[in-house]
Amino acid sequence: MVNFYKTFLFLNYGLLLIIVFLIFWKYTILNKKEKQYAYYIVFLFLIELMSLFFAYVIELQDTSFIYPYYIAGEFLLLTSLFIKKLDLPKYLFGITSFVALLFLIISNIPNIAFNFDEVKVGSNIIIICLAGFTLIQRIQSSKNVSRFTLIDACIFFYYSVSVFVFIIFQQLQNLSENNFYMVLGVNTVLSSILYSSFIYTFLKLKK
C-alpha cells in the first residue's frame, strides 16, 4: 500500500505541473470568474513545491508549519470562487477573508492548542455546501451547462469524501501501517480525479 500511495502521489505532482502549463497557455481566454480556478491550482502547486523544497532542499524534518497556510488559502480561494459564481453579496468576501486571516493569526500564537484537522473538516464542509449550491443552481437554470461544471462536481466529490476520510482516521486511530497508507492512497486517487478534470476542461477550452 505504501507503493500504491507513492505512485499516485508522484502522479499528482505530474498532473499539477501539466495543469499549470495549461493555465499559462489558456489564461487569456478565461473570464473573470474562471480565473479563480487558475489561482486555486497555482496555489496548490506552490504549496506542494514549498513542501518539497523544505523537505528535500532545506532538509527540514517537520514541514507541518505550512499546513495552516494551506487550509486558509484553499478556503479563501474556493469560497471566493463559489461566492462569485452564485452571485452572493460582496460582503461575504470580507467575512471569509477575515475568518482565514483570524485562523492564521491564532494558529501562529504559541501555547494555543489547535486541531488543524478539525478546522480542515469545517473548511471542507463550507466548500461542499457552496459547491453543492452551485451545482443545484446550474441544474435548475435554463442556461447551457457551464464549461467548468465538471470541475465543480469533482470539487464537491473530492471534498465530500475527504470529510469521510477524516472521520475514518478519527474513529480508527490505531490503524495498521498498511491500512493507513490505503486510506491515504484513496485520497490521492481522488486528487488525481480532480486534477484530471482540470486537465480535461482546460484542453477543451476555446475562445
Least confident of 21-30, 32-41, 90-99, 166-175: 166-175
Mean per-residue pLDDT for 112-124? 85
| Structural domain total, the chain | 1
pTM: 0.92
Q: How many CA atoms lie within 13 A of 177 on its CB side?
A: 2
Instruction: Check if the beta carbon of residue 43 is closer than 8 Å to that of residue 77.
Output: yes
Q: What is the pLDDT of residue 2?
A: 78
Q: pLDDT band for 174, please (50, 70, 90 cuts).
A: low
pLDDT tens digits, residue range 43-98?
A: 999 999 999 999 889 888 888 889 999 999 999 999 999 999 999 999 999 999 99
Average pLDDT over the chain, rounded to an integer:
89
pLDDT beyond 90 at 168: no
Amino acid identity of residue 38, one-letter, is A
Give the domain extent around 70.
Answer: 2-204
In the predicted model, is pLDDT for residue 112 greater than 80?
A: no
Question: Does 172 score more than 80 pLDDT?
Answer: no
Say how far apart CA 54 and CA 69 lie, in whole Å: 15
Query: Alpha-carbon torsion 25, 196, 83, 207, what sign?
Result: positive
